[in-house]
Amino acid sequence: MKLIGIVDDDEAVRDSLAILLEACGYAVVCFGSALAFLNNADITGLLCLLVDVHMPGMNGLELVELLRGRGIDTPTIIITGAADAALRATADRFEQLTFLEKPVDGDQLLDTIEQIAT
């Protein structure tokens, strides 16, 4: 199964990403926060994960760090409206991590998923 997890506190972003991905044949599971994802997701079955950086509570990079610390190396796409040099430097510590800028271009997202999840 081609299951993609989306973690973003913006419902409109979650919905639009889910519609795009489902139209392209992916199954999607959405979460409004990192904590909701950690409490409810079958993390091991994901093809990849789309994560917003700026969320209340645990941010996207903290979620990735926690997952990597648990030995979970799911390919992850970080979605952000502001990928500054400091953020990218922090993210460089992690393998299988890609950045996309908001607003996310649908074709670029699909190409990135194909690249990182195969």
Taking only the tens place, the pLDDT of each residue in 23-62 is: 999 999 999 999 999 998 777 789 999 999 989 999 999 9
> Who's near 17: CB < 8 A, 6+ residues apart?
6, 8, 28, 50, 104, 109
Burial of 114 (0-12, 13-18, 19+ CB in 10 A): exposed
Whether the model pTM is above 0.85: yes
Q: Is the dihedral of CA 18, 37, 75, 47 positive or negative?
A: negative
Average pLDDT of the residues of the chain: 88
Report pLDDT for 18: 97
